[in-house]
């Protein structure tokens, strides 16, 4: 899943750079307002790309990572229903 998010991120950032370079290298010769519009679209892409790249999917189990404290991990596992409660 991480590789897919990374590929989408690089595709979005490549699109951003392409829009920016084409806007001021080619399109501005014919229409400055269109070039400015392309730059405005390119300006919105990086924050969206960062959100896509840092998004967590349902299969990303970051909250299940053990903390390193066995007693705390056992307590959280019991609360999450992963293990049966200890018999006293």
Q: Is the pLDDT of residue 49 over 80?
A: yes
The domain containing residue 34 runs over which residues? Answer: 2-57
For residue 85, pLDDT beyond 60? no
Whether 83 maps to a domain, the answer reads no
Kindly report the pTM of this predicted structure.
0.63
Within a domain: 23? yes
Residue 63 pLDDT exceeds 70: no
Of the pLDDT bands very low, low, confident and very high (cuts 50, 70, 90), residue 72 is: confident
Give CA angle at 42 (60, 4), nearest 5°: 25
Residue 28 lies in a domain: yes
Residue 81 lies in a domain: no
Query: What is the pLDDT, as a whole number, of residue 23?
Result: 95
Q: Into how many domains does the chain fold?
A: 1
Examine residue 82 and state whether it is found in any structural domain, yes or no.
no
The highest-confidence range among 21-25, 62-66, 81-85, by mean pLDDT, is 21-25
Residue 64 within a domain: no
Q: Per the domain annotation, does 84 fall within a domain?
A: no
User: Is residue 68 one of the residues assigned to a domain?
Assistant: no
CB atoms within 10 A of CB 13: 15
Distance CA 8, CA 48 (A): 11
Give me the mean pLDDT over the 2-20 stretch.
Answer: 91
First to last CA, the chain: 42
């Amino acid at each position: 899943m991480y590789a897919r998010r990374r590929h989408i991120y690089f595709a979005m950032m490549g699109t951003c750079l392409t829009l920016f370079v084409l806007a001021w290298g080619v399109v501005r010769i014919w229409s400055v307002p269109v070039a400015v519009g392309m730059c405005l679209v390119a300006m919105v892409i990086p924050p969206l790309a960062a959100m896509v790249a840092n998004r967590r999917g349902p299969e990303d189990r970051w909250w299940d990572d053990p903390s390193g404290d066995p007693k705390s991990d056992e307590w959280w596992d019991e609360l999450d229903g992963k293990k049966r409660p200890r018999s006293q």
